[in-house]
Amino acid sequence: MILSFKGKTPKIASSAYVSKSAHVIGDVEIGEDCTIWPGVVIRADFASIKIGSNTDIEDNSVLHVKVAMDIGVNAVLGHNVTVHCSKVGNNTIIGNGAIILDDAEIGNNCVIAAGAVVTGGMKIPDGSFVAGVPAEIKGKVSAQQSTLIDEHYRYYTKEYKKFFREHDM
Amino acid sequence: MIRSFNGKTPKIAASAFVSETAYVVGDVEIGENSSVWPGAVIRGDMGKITIGKNTVIEDNCVIHSGSPVQPPITDITIGDNVIIGHGAVSNGRRIGNNVMVSMNSTILHDAEVGDHSIIASGCIVKEKMKIPERSFVVGVPAKIKGEISEEQYWWSQNSPKIYSDIAQQYKREGL
């Protein structure tokens, strides 16, 4: 469901897939080849939300902001992730059920573990592996972890997205 | 919303209840008297998802097949008399019978949970973790704290029945 709010209508690239049962509201930009799965809520009512190309936002995740949010390219937000921060970098993976609080900034090529709670204002440098409640930087992303993103693309092919887009799902 | 994907249509038992605001897609089987509550997503697009009988998938859960682990696994199963609590996420390979996966917990890819186990709220079960039968599991990341108590065992035996009664009432009232 794509809704305008206060005169702002989501701008969604033609190659992106947005599930019929996702909610995309207000001042939102979604780049080429993104996938937005069922139950996702992207609610840009207080400020804008910009999502770069090829980014994947999985089922039931919620994105909401007080100040503008910028999500990079090739990022993956897992199932049931809650994002309330200002920046998520390129090629970053956020694991299932993680929570990213206000004004946090996550760099490029980071892995945020499932269930982590990234506290307000936390700044995470490029290439960090982050886990825990509250979240701590545990070290650098390993070569094995960085292949996760490559693996992801094997599944989310252009044909796969096209099928969902064209079958009204 | 129930949708076919890649020629596969969800097979849902006649007595099961699937909320009209849940989203069930692809190669999914749901057994007798099971229930799927509002906002739940059961996405059988990268492999088959088999859900047994009397099993409860509560509001806003996500169950997804497929896995990025090597070698990749595709199909996943959830047994009979299982409760997956509100907001929980499972990519796990196998969840046994009479398991309780509590609210907002996460079961990662290729994990296996034995019969009668309880996964506490907010728990993160890491990839490939194998949890034996009757385990009580807590924490981020998850640790096995011991065996379940007699009282917990009673709940794992009886709570699916309580849920299946209320699900039948939802069904009768056309909700």
Span A45-60, average pLDDT = 95
pLDDT category of residue A72 using cuts at 50, 70 and 90: very high
The pLDDT of A137-151, averaged and rounded, is 84
Q: What is the chain A residue with the closest CA to B38?
A: A39
Question: In this complex, do B124 and A97 lie within 8 Å of one another by their Cβ atoms?
Answer: yes
Class of domain A2-163: mainly beta
pLDDT average, residue stretch A121-148: 92
Instruction: Give B72's strand partners.
Output: none
Chain A interface test: which of B89, B128, B143 (most A C-beta within 10 Å): B89
- What is the pLDDT at residue A154? 62
Give residue limits of the domains in chain A.
2-163
Q: Write down the pLDDT at residue B69.
A: 67
Which chain A residues are closer than 8 Å to B123 by Cβ?
115
Beta-bridge partner residues of B51? B30, B78
pTM exceeds 0.90, yes or no = no
Residues comprising chain B, all counted: 175
Choose the weakest-confidence range: B36-45, B90-99, B150-159: B150-159
CATH number of B2-172: 2.160.10.10
Assign B62 a pLDDT band (cuts: 50, 70, 90): very high
- Mark yes or no for CB contact B1/A151 under 8 Å: no
pLDDT of residue A82: 95
- Chain B neighbors of A97, CB-CB under 8 A: 87, 89, 104-106, 124
Quote the pLDDT of residue B72: 75
Rg of chain A's alpha carbons, rounded to an integer? 15
